[in-house]
Structure 1
Amino acid sequence: MTTFVRSRDGRTLAVEERGEPEGFPIFLLHGTPGSRLGPWPRPAVLHRLGVRLISYDRPGYGLSDRLFGRRVADVVHDVADIANALRIESFAVIGRSGGAPHALACGALLPTRTTKVAALVPLAPPGAEGLDWFQGMSFSNVAEFTAAASGHGAVHELLSPTVERVRDDPTRLVPALDDELPEPDRRVVADFGIRRMLAATFAEALRHSPAGWVDDALAFSRPWGFDPGSITVPTLLWHGGEDVFSPAGHSRWLGERIPDATLVIEESAAHFGSLAVLPDILAWLADRPGAVIRRAAAPDQD
Structure 2
Amino acid sequence: MLRTVDVRLDDGRVLRAYDSGADAAARLVLMWHHGSPQTGAPLAPVLAAAAARGIRVLSYARPAYGGSTPQPGRDVASAAADAAAVAEAFGVARFAAMGASGGGPHALAGAALLPDRVTAVVTLAAIAPWTDAFDWFDGMQAPGGLRAAMDGREARAGYAETEEFDPEQFLPADFAALDGPWSALGDDVARSAQFGPDGLIDDDVAFAKPWGFELEAVRAPVLLVQGEGDRVVPRRHASWMLGRLPRATLWMRLDDGHVSVLDTVPDAMDWLLERGS
TM exceeding 0.5: yes
Q: Secondary structure at the match of 1:203?
A: helix
Letter aligned with residue 66 of structure 1: P
CA RMSD of aligned residues (A): 1.9
Measure how far apart 1:97 and its partner are.
0.3
Aligned residue pair count: 272
CA distance in 2, matches of 1:117, 1:15: 19
Aligned twin of 2:139: 136
Aligned twin of 1:293: none
Measure how far apart 1:269 and its partner are.
0.9
Aligned twin of 2:16: 14
Letter aligned with residue 182 of structure 2: I
CA distance in 2, matches of 1:134, 1:43: 33
CA contact (8 A) 1:19 1:50 kept: no
1:65 aligns with 2:65: no
- More divergent stretch after superposition (77-86 vs 30-39): 30-39
The one of 153, 174, 182 aligned to 1:194: 182
Aligned twin of 1:229: 216
Measure how far apart 1:200 and its partner are.
2.9
| Residue-by-residue CA offset, 1:180-210 (whole Å, 9 max, x unaligned) | 322322322233x634x23432233232321
- What stretches of structure 2 of length at least 5 have no aligned partner? none
- What stretches of structure 1 of length at least 5 have no aligned partner? 163-172, 290-302
Change (3 A) 1:73 1:44: closer
Measure how far apart 1:81 and its partner are.
0.6
CA distance in 2, matches of 1:94, 1:257: 19
CA distance in 2, matches of 1:257, 1:189: 32
Measure how far apart 1:273 and its partner are.
2.0
The one of 117, 122, 125 aligned to 2:121: 117
Letter aligned with residue 149 of structure 2: A
Q: Secondary structure at the match of 2:20?
A: strand
CA distance in 2, matches of 1:41, 1:183: 20
Aligned twin of 2:43: 39
TM-score normalised per structure 1: 0.84
CA distance in 1, matches of 2:171, 2:194: 29
CA contact (8 A) 1:20 1:47 kept: no
CA contact (8 A) 1:19 1:53 kept: yes
Measure how far apart 1:34 and its partner are.
1.3
Q: Secondary structure at the match of 1:276?
A: helix
Identity %: 34
The one of 262, 266, 270 aligned to 2:253: 266
Q: Which aligned runs of 4 or more in structure 1 are off by greater than 4 angstroms?
A: none
TM-score normalised per structure 2: 0.92
